[in-house]
Amino acid sequence: MNNETFQKIKQEALADWQALKEKTVIMVGTATCGRAVGAVEVMRAIDQELANQGVKDAVLMEVGCMGHCYAEPLVIIQKPGYPAICYGYVDEGTASVLVKEFIVGDDLCIEFALAATEPNDMFPTFEDFPRGMVEQKIVMENCGIIDPHNINHYIANGGYEALANAIEMTPEQVLQEIKNSGLRGRGGAGFPTGIKWETCQNIEDDVKYVICNADEGDPGAFMDRALLESNPHQMLEGLALAAFTVGASHGYIYIRAEYPLAVERVRMAIEQAKDKGLLGNSVLGSNFNLELEIFQGSGAFVCGEETALINSMQGYPGIPRHRPPFPAQAGLWNKPTVINNVKTLSYVSHIIKKGADWFKSIGTPENPGTAIFALAGKIINTGLTEVPMSTTLKQIVYDVGSGIEKSKKFKAVQIGGPSGGCIPESLLDTSIDFDSLSKIGAMMGSGGMVILDEDDCMVEIARFFLDFTQKESCGKCTFCRIGTKQMLDILERITKGEGVLEDIDYLGELAQNIKNGSLCNLGKTAPNPVLSTIRHFRDEYEAHVIEKRCPALMCKELTTFYILPEKCERSCDACIGSCPVECIYSNEDRIKVIDQEKCVKCNSCLDACPPQYDAVIKLSPVDMLKVKENVIDE
């Protein structure tokens, strides 16, 4: 790299970063995940305590999300002479303790520490835990370490070097590197990024566009949000490299309006990059120009589909259209347009900097690189993780996620967002990559992963996800509009115990046709949760229709609550007080009885009954109640 302008920028950034490294720095994770549990308050408490203690030389800094969302709010303290330590579950009280004991005093407060963030000989780092051995961070590497508001932090850690390198190369050379790397789109479909860019590069047109798709409409997914909130420049650099490669001088970042913090941080990042000459006219003195703008989407799930996204940017309703032409051929305002996901773009600078061979050394030949997942559901460590493609589901659930909550039994992984599939225990050795997952009826999707346990009913799970896609169907085409509604009606019947055996096969038949017949990928993938649960959990469907029994005791219509007389403590009235409809009474022996007519099956009594008595149980099918009651009568 011999761009002098960039060298100067880099020196300045390094000096800035170095100066920071020599100070006491308190970093608070203030991405949305941290904010949701009080990170801003923690930050304020630290500020207050620093003032109270008269500490003047400590720097209080905001950082993004490291992925350990289960332990938010997170605070990292870097104090000269000590390894940087990450503290978890910090509240305002802990915050002032940390200031008093560690910043002012010299007590590391290991009782609050999760791990060190850099190797040292005092304290284990995240990498020393089973999770750290599985994880490999490329795009999340600097998340939670650098201040997303400060471009110098990004530059000091290698940022914009790829762009500086690229403008000394030809667009064809950059394209070749991306093609060689085998990078596949992380927005869901896994389409090779190089081929998309090549299509666009090959079309002669004065006006072309690049768009970053940050619509992220999957419920429960927040990888893109976390990346934008934690390291916005990484995506911007990728977008700039895309623009340089295809010959675009205008780009947009399509962010859902529900992500105000991401919008704010990206906006600030664009401004700072422009100020440094890394965006705008004549990037780093070259003849490459790039104007970037944010477009705020109004949040419909289908607007994440690229043709719907373009329609909505042009002021039309967000409704998909037939492809081809693909956006790379005729996209925004009918001009060749590259659309990539936030994650996809975030890999680009690393590939240009470290080379295609390095990228291909991670993951599998067909699926190089890492995958980022948002772990949710019945798992101990919820949050974000980045692992090499080819990691198995088992490693994610047990090593990264630390297994199932409350020592319950694992049942399935729902992967790929609302249109993904459910994977049973027997397939937990499946490696996560685009191809292996689609082979077993699931999909990579954009990276949502929900862990389900024995208390989750697979029919209800399928109904839940289909309910989402059915509501989000734009309604344009026949199969998706009417077909998903028909499927949902059948599923509702089954969860209410009104289904018949033929329903199961008919569901499968409808599902297959919706997959084959729908216009866009929303409809084409919407039946996945139903198909995969029928495939792997058919016994649960059959229990619902034949025995009117919900094996997981989840479907309300098929379960009742019952208080075991032999277990009820009698003098304890916990359940009575907890019932919102006051339908629990004491019989002559003071044993508690539920008035089944009035019961709304809200679970309150079950939760309220003290664990040492454990007298409230659920029964399914509902007829089991008669059996129980007869025993008492006799």
Partner 1 sequence: MSKTVNLTIDDKQVSAQEGEMLLWVALENDIYIPHLCAMKDYTPYAACRLCFVEVEGKKAPVTSCTQPVYENMVVHTRSERVDELVKKGFELIMSNHHLDCKNCPGNKNCELQKIAKARKLPLKPKKLIQQVNEELPIDDSMDKIVYDPRKCVLCGKCITACKENGNGILNFAHRGIDRVITTFGNISLKEAGCLDCGACAEVCPVGARSIKE
Ligand X SMILES: Cc1cc2nc3c(=O)[nH]c(=O)nc-3n(C[C@H](O)[C@H](O)[C@H](O)COP(=O)(O)O)c2cc1C
Instruction: State which residue, 28 or 520, has the beta carbon closest to ligand SF4.
Output: 520
CB 163 within 8 A of CB 241: yes
H or E element in which residue 563 lies? strand 560-563
Instruction: State which residue, 480 or 553, has the beta carbon closest to ligand SF4.
Output: 480
- Which stretch, 166-174, 334-342, 447-455, 546-554, contacts ligand X (CB under 6 A)? 334-342
What is the smallest separation between the CB atom of 362 and ligand X, expressed in angstroms?
18
Residue 452, CB half-sphere, CA atoms under 13 Å: how many?
25
261 phi/psi in degrees, rounded to 5: -70, -40
* Position 186 contacts ligand X (CB under 6 A): yes
- Which stretch, 75-83, 131-139, 241-249, 301-309, contacts ligand X (CB under 6 A)? 301-309
Instruction: State which residue, 205 or 489, has the beta carbon closest to partner 1.
Output: 489
Instruction: State which residue, 323 or 481, has the beta carbon closest to ligand SF4.
Output: 481
Q: Which of residues 194-253 bind ligand X (CB under 6 A)?
A: 213, 215-217
Sign of CA dihedral 501, 502, 505, 507: negative
Q: Which two tokens stand for residue 399?
A: 């090593």
* Position 473 contacts partner 1 (CB under 8 A): yes
Q: How far apart are CA 440 and CA 75, in angstroms?
A: 40
Instruction: State which residue, 377 or 523, has the beta carbon closest to ligand SF4.
Output: 523
- Which stretch, 98-106, 303-311, 420-428, 527-535, contacts ligand X (CB under 6 A)? 303-311
Three-state secondary-structure class, residue 190: coil
- Which stretch, 126-134, 235-243, 422-430, 511-519, contacts partner 1 (CB under 8 A)? 511-519
Instruction: State which residue, 171 or 217, has the beta carbon closest to ligand X.
Output: 217
Three-state secondary-structure class, residue 89: coil
Interface with partner 1 (CB under 8 A), residue from 516, 546, 587, 589? 516
112 phi/psi in degrees, rounded to 5: -105, -5
> Going by C-beta distance under 8 Å and a sequence separation of 6 or more, which residues neighbour residue 516?
524
Give the position of tokens 């941290």: 34
Residues that bind ligand SF4 (CB under 6 A): 302, 320, 473-477, 480-481, 518-520, 522-523
CB 587 within 8 A of CB 593: yes
Interface with partner 1 (CB under 8 A), residue from 472, 554, 604, 618? 472
Q: List the beta bridge partners of residue 63.
A: 29
Which does residue 470 touch among partner 1, ligand X, ligand SF4, none (CB within 5 to 8 A, set by kind)?
A: partner 1
- Which stretch, 88-96, 106-114, 181-189, 477-485, contacts ligand X (CB under 6 A)? 181-189
Three-state secondary-structure class, residue 561: strand
Which does residue 406 touch among partner 1, ligand SF4, ligand X, none (CB within 5 to 8 A, set by kind)?
A: none
Max distance between CA atoms of the chain, in angstroms, equals 93
What is the smallest separation between the CB atom of 158 and ligand SF4, expressed in angstroms?
40
* Position 496 contacts partner 1 (CB under 8 A): no
* Position 340 contacts ligand X (CB under 6 A): yes
Q: How far apart are CA 296 and CA 113, in angstroms?
A: 39
Q: How far is CA 367 from the centre of its chain?
A: 20
What is the smallest separation between the CB atom of 509 and partner 1, expressed in angstroms?
8
Instruction: State which residue, 64 or 217, has the beta carbon closest to ligand X.
Output: 217
* Position 460 contacts ligand X (CB under 6 A): no
422 exposed, middle or buried (CB, 10 Å; 0-12, 13-18, 19+)? buried
- Tally of CB atoms within 10 A around 502: 9
Three-state SS for 482-529 is HHHHHHHHHHHHHHCCCCCHHHHHHHHHHHHHHHHHCCCHHHHHCCHH
Interface with partner 1 (CB under 8 A), residue from 168, 509, 595, 629? 509
Instruction: State which residue, 89 or 191, has the beta carbon closest to ligand X.
Output: 191
Three-state secondary-structure class, residue 472: helix
* Position 312 contacts ligand X (CB under 6 A): no
Q: How far apart are CA 517 and CA 33, in angstroms?
A: 39
What is the smallest separation between the CB atom of 335 and ligand X, expressed in angstroms?
17
What is the smallest separation between the CB atom of 332 and ligand SF4, expressed in angstroms?
19
Which of these, 224, 203, 290, 286, lies nearest to 251 by C-alpha position? 290
CB 410 within 8 A of CB 404: yes
Q: Which of residues 300-359 bind partner 1 (CB under 8 A)?
A: 300, 317, 321-322
Instruction: State which residue, 62 or 305, has the beta carbon closest to ligand SF4.
Output: 305
Interface with partner 1 (CB under 8 A), residue from 471, 538, 598, 626? 471
Residue whose beta carbon is closest to ligand SF4: 523
What is the smallest separation between the CB atom of 306 and ligand SF4, expressed in angstroms?
12
Q: How far apart are CA 203 and CA 226, in angstroms?
A: 34
| Size of the residue set binding partner 1 (CB under 8 A) | 29
What is the smallest separation between the CB atom of 484 and partner 1, expressed in angstroms?
8
* Position 171 contacts ligand X (CB under 6 A): no
Instruction: State which residue, 61 or 342, has the beta carbon closest to ligand X.
Output: 342
* Position 474 contacts partner 1 (CB under 8 A): yes
Instruction: State which residue, 211 or 404, has the beta carbon closest to ligand X.
Output: 211
Q: Which two tokens stand for residue 287?
A: 């003849």
601 phi/psi in degrees, rounded to 5: 55, 50
481 DSSP 8-state letter? I
- Tally of CB atoms within 10 A around 628: 16
Which residues are at the interface with partner 1 (CB under 8 A)? 300, 317, 321-322, 470-479, 481-486, 489, 506, 509-510, 513, 516-519
Which residues are at the interface with ligand X (CB under 6 A)? 185-189, 191, 193, 213, 215-217, 301-302, 304-306, 339-341, 344, 446, 520-522
